[in-house]
Structure 1
């Protein structure tokens, strides 16, 4: 196939330049094979490779504000993704030689010695350009974001860049030496402008996988203040934001729709894990008073999440019975009769989806159950579930082997379903044993 015509290649270039970073990485991976180097695709691959290299340089120079240009909660400091490309284009026009120097210094052996000073110089130039609003490239930014906030973030770039290599240490195990380092960064920020401290924390939080961990850094700077003092301070918003997120996650656990299946159950379990981590972070970072503004709420949330998770776990047995229905051994058994598998219809996909969601939830809250106060409840729920599943599997294996008590083919489908469910309540090894026993039963029946 002939090369892509110029106008089409221009269109492709525009698409590549405006693609999100994640999409660009996917495109680069898709074109990395032998086919990507042939014909028309070769031109596209060169465009993708050039754009990837250019973004690496851009993101290295503008690293302090890059995560602020991702999707974030509306209450957090953030900018549209286009800000990065517009800033970079404006800098290329304003300071082309410094851009060339940054590109030349943006290599592993230079970066090992720490970020080149030209990176900070370019951020300072960008801050001045954004504030001045005279160059056309910088003027365009005023149409899509708060230029004062963007300029303030850029002015803190040197402090943020110096703090980033230390950030993982600050949140892993804060020592007095590390706390002093964090306080120094905070004081340096406040020398630039009096209200820069909270903005520094905002930027650093954006660089954390779990942004609520910034509480640990703030606590070190404030020397673990009481909740009353912290809540009334200029950084009280960080605590309020975490408390709001805790409440939102508890509400999600309470209301998640089991009809959506396993993914939704796992999402709810992640919410429970996040709540546990956030409460622990609060207790370690803040001197909580049980009657204080945050102490009261944390106490309420600890009780609320335990009750909510226990309520969802307690529904698991009912969901299991609905998906793997039983029929009484005799009419005298009534509701309390142990019952045997009711093999009268195909497994109901909706009911299977529901029980899978709940069992996935029960399985995945294991990591936070003990610390959150519902470890014993979870153990009791699993004991009941496994007792029921064990008996069900034995009963239905009998049907598969003998054909007595129901349709053998239908029994095999329910047996496979039960094996899948016991993987959640126990483990995959147990499920595999059930599957091997099922295969042996089928072979015996044949």
Structure 2
């Protein structure tokens, strides 16, 4: 049994490799793969390449270098690989951490004689450039590995002791499930490789021509491997710029747009995945305490929710009384409530950042003017800018969130307060001197920054010019 290096060393190495410039990472990976194929020993090839794989996977276009046996093994399921999982395991995603465990399991236990021989043949054919022999050997490796893994998993399911041992070798229950999915994909490896050759790395729009090609490949595969054919649309989904477009494929197979029908068809899992992600975002937003959230992260989550929600409702016809329609409405209500609660404190934050104070003996009905006794609080200003960037980011997507009324109300309150404050601040700049003048100019710059956070660069520039005029008065 192979021993792995300590996790701390692997983590430090992965962190270092992740910072490499793309050309350097490609050059390093290609050099390592070339030397390993030539049989040069003494280097921790797999540990370095494992650290490089997440970075290399993010590059567009064909991966450079000469594929070694492990890369050839992974190619059919490379679209399904993920660096880590956030929450529960999901079908159609395979952890990169499981790949080497499955590979070692095959080499040590399942195919101890056949796999080393196939590895040698793959290296020889790669170095000699014999593409026909290479393709044949790789095909045999895929089929043999799929069969061996499936047999071992079936035995493990019947024997608790074997299952426990297999899970220990594979990194637990999730690794065991990853191995099962790797076997499923390898069993239809020719179809998965054909899919990769017909699709761009990123699909901006799943058009009719692409849909027709994918469906033809899916139908052909489903004739002999109906359960495993599901990984074809999983691979397509991983390449979509807008994941909800996978519902176009589901519609084409189901010949329906109606969610009541689609939610009960064999491909309903894709709708369930999209709904589950929206519900996860909704739960996360619902759990936040107003005033304690990272607004940048919340905005990204809300944007993701809005894109998924718009895409989901655009691709299929949802019925409000249907299960999917009810779940979407419930998730949308939770997100809307969380956004509204967060934004309800923004006006108070603005008052703290740009404070007024009462004049004379008239109580609350007395005249107001900007409080220039102290310099503005930069921390409050930074929090307010974050609030306003959130408002600006949410405004275009408030309709699919169901929060348009609250967004408009908060933005109007902010703009009304800013207008009143700026007019009186400019009056103070004209007559103030010393520390009060200096503080007023700082407050004016903060107010201009608030306009910029709202996407109002022109208003910010006008305010600065008005401040310059007032200073010279």
2:127 matches 1:96: no
Q: RMSD of aligned C-alpha atoms?
A: 4.6
Partner of residue 319, structure 2:
289
Q: Which residue in 1 is equivalent to 2:431?
A: 402
Aligned to 1:81: 96
Matched length: 407
CA drift at 1:76: 0.9
Kindly state the Cα deviation for residue 236 of structure 1 after the two structures are TM-superposed: 3.2
Q: Tell me which residue corresponds to 1:318.
A: 348
**Secondary structure of 1:294 counterpart:** helix
Deviations 1:46-105 (A, max 9, x none): 989x95676976657624423424223423134442334456775676322324545787
Q: Deviations over 1:369-394 (max 9, x none)?
A: 35555446534433332232233234
Uncovered stretches (5+) of structure 2, i.e. residues with no partner: 26-43, 53-63, 108-114, 153-165
Q: Is the 8 A contact 2:441 2:467 kept in 1?
A: yes
Residue 27 of structure 1 corresponds to which residue in structure 2? Answer: 20
Decide whether aligned partners of structure 1 residues 18 and 384 sit closer, same or farther in structure 2, where only a CA change above 3 A counts: closer
1:271 to 287, 301, 314: 301
Q: Could you say what secondary structure the match of 1:172 adopts?
A: coil
Q: What residue in structure 1 maps to residue 170 of structure 2?
A: 143
Residue 440 of structure 2 aligns with which residue?
411
Q: Which runs of 5+ in 1 are unaligned?
A: 1-10, 33-45, 134-138
Map 1:218-297 onto structure 2 (within 5 A).
Answer: 218-256=250-288, 259=291, 264-297=294-327
Q: Residue 363 of structure 1: CA displacement? A: 0.8
Q: Which residue of 1 aligns with 2:146?
A: 127
Q: 1:361 aligns with which of 386, 390, 395?
A: 390
* CA offsets 1:175-202 (integer angstroms, 9 cap, x no match): 2x54433332333343443322444433
The residue correspondences of 1:99-248 to structure 2 (distance < 5 A) are 99=123, 101-102=125-126, 122-128=141-147, 130-131=149-150, 142-144=169-171, 145-146=175-176, 147-164=179-196, 165-166=198-199, 172-175=205-208, 177-248=209-280
Q: Which residue of 2 aligns with 1:4?
A: none
Report the more deviating stretch, 219-228 or 369-378: 369-378
Q: State the Cα distance separating 1:278 from its structure 2 match.
A: 1.7
TM-score by length of 2: 0.68
Q: TM-score, normalised by structure 1?
A: 0.72
Contact 1:130 1:141 in 2 (8 A): no
Indicate conservation of the 8 Å contact 1:273/1:365, yes or no. Answer: yes
